[in-house]
A and B are shown apart, each in its own frame.
Chain A
């Protein structure tokens, strides 16, 4: 039987939404207060969904300890209490939560092979969230 498992993690980071290819005025218009020069921060909630056959010997899709270790090592240690703008991942893309979702999905796709990565969901605040499934349509 194929099932989907979702685990939720928290990390905090700062960012400033600013595109060097646009004028100061354009940046201000497009990004509003997210363009304030010294940046600001969020407590991000990340949900990682993996899928796979449930192993009859263990009753598990994958061992949760392995998933937790991979997310801790590859995502939390990389981004928690960091300024996203100065990181290599955002050298040429604006650290919006859309782009952060894609970056996180792609890192996990490369580093966690014990189950199929279905999607990541990233809540920037309680009022907005973003989901990325590697380009696939989302499933209800």
Chain B
């Protein structure tokens, strides 16, 4: 079994707001992330897949194919978007880095034919990232 990781970047804006909370609660829980005018990040996404190396090609996965899937399923939907307003997963869910990693996992999960999705890692900042392994 070999693990392969592909990295890419996207930039997006968001804010954190739970409509069931009062204004004070939103402010207390989410701090400056609760500013309804939003703010943005340069996100780094690392997608790790695993599989046996195909003896004919020497590949775990065709990187060109993986790159196309990432572009189509993730980057076109998220890059230079406002997550709360333009990405359906976040119309009713808070676009934290945790939820972003989970959403990206579900976007990719059934699109990979050969290799198996192992981990989605999303960096919001160089000193903050979330890993999701598809666990319930």
B127 interface hit (Cβ, 8 Å): yes
Across-interface contacts of A54 in B (CB, < 8 A): 96, 98-99, 102
Number of interface residues of B (CB under 8 A): 30
Chain A residues touching B, range:
20 to 34
CA of A1 to CA of B103 in the docked complex: distance in angstroms? Answer: 11
Asked whether, in the complex, the Cβ of A1 is within 8 Å of the Cβ of B18, the reply is no
CA of A87 to CA of B62 in the docked complex: distance in angstroms? Answer: 52
Which positions 30-73 of chain A face chain B at CB distance < 8 Å? 49, 54, 56-61, 63-65
Asked whether, in the complex, the Cβ of B48 is within 8 Å of the Cβ of A140, the reply is yes
The stretch that binds B, out of A2-10, A13-21, A77-85, A95-103, is A2-10
Asked whether, in the complex, the Cβ of B16 is within 8 Å of the Cβ of A59, the reply is yes
Asked whether, in the complex, the Cβ of B97 is within 8 Å of the Cβ of A5, the reply is yes
Asked whether, in the complex, the Cβ of A58 is within 8 Å of the Cβ of B94, the reply is yes
Q: Is the interface of A mostly helix, strand, loop or mixed?
A: mixed
Interface string of B96-136 (1 = CB under 8 A from A): 11110110000000000000001100000011111111011
A64 to nearest B CB, angstroms?
7
Across-interface contacts of A49 in B (CB, < 8 A): 131
Asked whether, in the complex, the Cβ of B16 is within 8 Å of the Cβ of A3, the reply is no
Q: Which one of A1, A63, A64, A139 contacts B128 once the chains associate, using CB atoms below 8 Å?
A: A64
Across-interface contacts of B31 in A (CB, < 8 A): 65
CA of A56 to CA of B132 in the docked complex: distance in angstroms? Answer: 16
B129 to nearest A CB, angstroms?
5
Count: A-B pairs, CB below 8 Å: 67
Q: Which one of A1, A5, A56, A58 contacts B135 once the chains associate, using CB atoms below 8 Å?
A: A1
Residue from B93, B96, B98, B131 whose CB has the most chain A CB atoms within 10 Å: B98
CA of A1 to CA of B3 in the docked complex: distance in angstroms? Answer: 23
B18 to nearest A CB, angstroms?
6
Across-interface contacts of B94 in A (CB, < 8 A): 58-59
B70 to nearest A CB, angstroms?
19
Q: Which one of B95, B118, B126, B130 contacts A3 once the chains associate, using CB atoms below 8 Å?
A: B130
8 inter-chain pairs at a CB distance below 8 angstroms, sorted by A residue, are A1-B136, A3-B101, A6-B131, A8-B127, A58-B18, A59-B94, A60-B96, A139-B133
The 7 closest A-B pairs by CB, nearest first: A59-B94, A59-B96, A8-B127, A4-B131, A2-B135, A54-B98, A59-B99
